[in-house]
Amino acid sequence: METLRQIWDRTLEEGVEVYKASRFSALSRDCFSHFWRDDAAASRADETAIDAAWRIVIDAGPLGRRMGSHLAEFFAGPMRMPLACETRPADASAKHSSTNPGPRTILLLDRGGGDPATPETFTLTVEPDCVTLAGRDPEGLRDGVVKLVDLMGARCGPILPRGETVFRPRLAVRLGATPHLGSYREVVFNGFNAVYLAGIMHGGPLFALSTSDAIPELARRREPGALDAIAAQARRAKEYGLKTYLHLNTVKKFPQDDPVFRAHPEIRGALTWSADGEHVLCTEHPLVRRWLRESVQGLFRAAEALDGVSVIIGGEGFYHCFMRPFGVEKGHTNCPRCERVGAPAAVANLLNLLADAAREITPHAEVVAWPYSASAIWSVDPDQAPMIELMKPGTALLTEMEKEETVTTPEGIAKSLWDYSIQLVGPGRRAASQVAACKRAGIPIYVKSEPELSFEAPRLSHVPCLDRWLARAEAMASCGAQGGWVFAAFRPVFGSTVSEIYKQAWWTPTESADQSLDGVARRLAGSAGAPHLREAWRAVSEAIMHSPELPWYYHGPYYLGPCQPMIADPEAAVPEVFFGRYLFLAEAVDEEGMKLRPTFMTKPSGKEMFERAYRAMHEHLCRAAEAVDAAEPFVPAPARLLFDGEASAIRWFHHTARTHANFNESCRLRDQVLPLAKSADGAERAAAIPLLARWHEVLLDERENTRAALPIMEGDVRLDPYYGFDHSFSHGAEMIRAKLVILDHELDVFLPALVRRCGGLTP
């Protein structure tokens, strides 16, 4: 029997290998795969066209030279036009200034441009015979190269608009995760200036990284080499001028009789999760506080390029005595020491301790507190305002744009956004309140958005409602926060259109939404196909508005899509292929993550209003799928990968909504028909016959839908739930084939038997 860690590591390794073999992996491992050259693109009178006679001249330090080499890669690669690239020595800056770049030259400077008062700004000057890109600083030049590539990418050719423009970032910190199999180059070209080291799911277990001997019994949890690996990652990120953060956790807790408690019984903190659960270390005890301080100091001492750490202090992650205490009401704990302190003060004390420790080593370091689900677990105040009031310099807050809000669908359904959603662009009431509270407290606040995921359709590679995602980016930039953190908490970043759309709103001057989306659509579908793709995005955005619920994680048709069995016969055994492991449930204890559980639903989560909502979603997504079909003939060959990556998500979403609508209606009909079919009253049995006819139509439609979905699943590993990363299911194609066998039996055996019992004719 595999251990939890073995299952997790194996599925991750398998997922990496199969993704490497997928053509879609190019989208995340190579940022320049998002661009191509249209030979028909011609410059206008107000534009400058760059040809093979031009050259790149780099008059900049190491970061500028690195970015200049990437610019040369862009010209040699997607633009199919290698340019000579010349690096000037630093002492040549006076001779080769921005006023004397030379003919047919793209001059890159890491000084003298932008806004002198604003870091990371840059000036782009395009003249008929020269282009000058001057950063206010090296980071400004870095971002200027990204903008230069984007401008040419939107035109599908080496063409730039003439004039002089100063670009300013709208957010001081733009944090992203490294795309799957990609590098820090991809982080930068997605518009970010900060990065998570090791990713959110595989960040830093503090026990593994600690060098403190304050509690000797904890030394057995150290992982040799882990701290060195983090330090090396941070150094590589600094080669791109990126700010670096590490996500810390203390998920691994302690049994009642653990050696650490036998040696130090006084540091035993709250009992968590259940009566036979595990204990945390009490963060109010002086010995634990010493261990925490020394551990954080050791981390920042070893990783000199680290700028900060983040900790979830709400419902998971970095444990304190108010997180998941067993047998007490919200806002209380079973740890007497912390109960006397109170939740807001105990959590703020922890954060301030970590920040003080970090800043003793790195004066500018910050500890970012993420109160994910705090209001459901320990925070009586829904906005954590009492905790924020007690947070001191060196701390910051991270909050979600939409979480913990309620929206109303066109059907009148009050939908709780208990987790990530794109139905509400944001910021929601809670986020706006926390922005104001942090401003009063004088601490930074960052707002979070998933880069590609919303739980309206979490199995997709990305949710292709680009209009809504661009609106989210604009909202993040204008809500008053100091930063936008766009990282995947649940899975890798697949390098989709969504993962790059945020940067369209993150510098001034900005284009209009239509200009931005038109440019992206042209890259994916060509000039003739772009209007159809825009229509598909609009239809998906409209479908999202009808989504009636955010169901439980990775469960049922909203996640499985056409893999979800119809459960027409509630007494039939469901094959094991439809059971899986929810690895993330090991947050409580490892055994919970090992259990096989149903991945499917047996009844709808809502009533007939939900059924109408899913039918409405399906209607909009039919439009989206038809628009994709209309665009396909016009897609130029160089854009085929980009278009197919987008079309796959739209088509799977269409089939998913169709399954969800069919499942809800099938279950309603089932629950109406079966009692009638069992009745001794002939009139009641006869009343079931028209319902059976409709049920037959629904199951026939679902069989057709499932068959049509199978090649999409087989052609896109990103859709396969086997590679769920924090859960482990069967392969999607195996589930679909098993479902089709069940559907055949339901249509050919089960329903006809019911029809005969009710006195009707077998269809």
3-state secondary structure of 553: coil
What average pLDDT does range 683-707 have in this prediction? 96
CB 162 within 8 A of CB 84: no
- DSSP state, residue 748: I
Across residues 437-462, what is the average pLDDT? 96
Q: What does pLDDT average to over the chain?
A: 95
pLDDT band at 608 (very low <50, low <70, confident <90, very high): confident
Average pLDDT over residues 721-747: 95
Domain ranges of the chain: 47-161, 248-393, 532-757
CA angle 97, 101, 105 (to 5 degrees): 145
Q: What is the DSSP string of 335-391?
A: -HHHHHH-HHHHHHHHHHHHHHHHHHHSTT-EEEEE-TTHHHHT-SSTT-HHHHHH-
Instruction: Place 590 in a pLDDT band, splitting at 50, 70 and 90.
Output: confident
CA dihedral 377→382→386→387, nearest 10 degrees, is 50
**pLDDT of the residue at 606:** 78
Condensed to tens digits (0 to 9), the pLDDT of residues 38-56 reads 999 999 999 999 999 999 9
Cα dihedral 160, 165, 169, 170 sign: negative
The confidence score (pLDDT) of residue 198 equals 77
Residue 718, both tokens: 């990103």
User: ω before 427 within 30° of 0 (cis)?
Assistant: yes
pLDDT at residue 96, rounded to an integer: 41
**The pLDDT value given to residue 100:** 65
Task: Look at 29-33, 255-259, 607-611 and tell me which has the smallest mean pLDDT.
Answer: 607-611
Q: What is the pLDDT of residue 762?
A: 64
Q: 8 pLDDT band (50/70/90 cuts)? A: confident
Lowest mean pLDDT segment, chosen from 1-5, 74-78, 717-721: 1-5
Hey, which CATH number is domain 47-161, 3.20.20.70, 3.30.379.10, 3.40.50.620, 3.40.50.300?
A: 3.30.379.10
Task: Express each pLDDT in 498-551 by its tens digit.
Answer: 999 999 999 999 999 999 999 999 999 999 999 999 999 999 999 999 999 999
**Beta bridge mates, 175:** 194, 485
pLDDT-derived band of residue 201, with 50, 70 and 90 as boundaries? Answer: low
Please check the confidence at residue 98 and state whether its pLDDT lies above 60.
no
Nearest to 584, CA basis, from 370, 315, 321: 315
* pLDDT, tens digit (0-9, with 9 covering 90-100), for 206-244: 999 999 999 999 999 999 999 999 999 999 999 999 999
Per-residue pLDDT for 92 more than 50?
no
Q: Bridge-partner residues for 164, per DSSP?
A: 125
Q: What is the mean pLDDT of residues 95-112?
A: 78
pLDDT at 14: 92
Place of tokens 């893999």: 563
Distance set, CA 122 to CA 163, 210, 507, 590, 672 (Å): 14, 40, 10, 50, 66
Structure tokens at 591: 């055994």
Under 8 Å between Cβ of 198 and 244: no
- Residue 215, token pair as written in the block: 């509690």
Average pLDDT over residues 475-488: 97
- Whole-structure pTM value: 0.95
pLDDT at 697: 98
Which residue has tokens 């390029």? Answer: 305
Answer whether residue 299 shows pLDDT above 90. Answer: yes
pLDDT in tens, 52-71: 999 999 999 999 999 999 99
Question: What b/e string do you get for 425-449 counting C-beta neighbours within 10 Å, with b at 16 or more?
Answer: bbbbebbbbbbebbeebebbbbbbb
Residue 715 has a CB neighbour count (10 Å cut-off) of: 13
Q: Is the pLDDT of residue 99 over 60?
A: no
What is the predicted pLDDT for the residue at 444? Answer: 98
Residues above pLDDT 70, as percent of the chain = 98
Q: Taking 50 as the threshold, does the pLDDT of residue 497 lie above it? A: yes
- Alpha-helical (H) ranges within 479-569 are 497-501, 513-544, 557-560
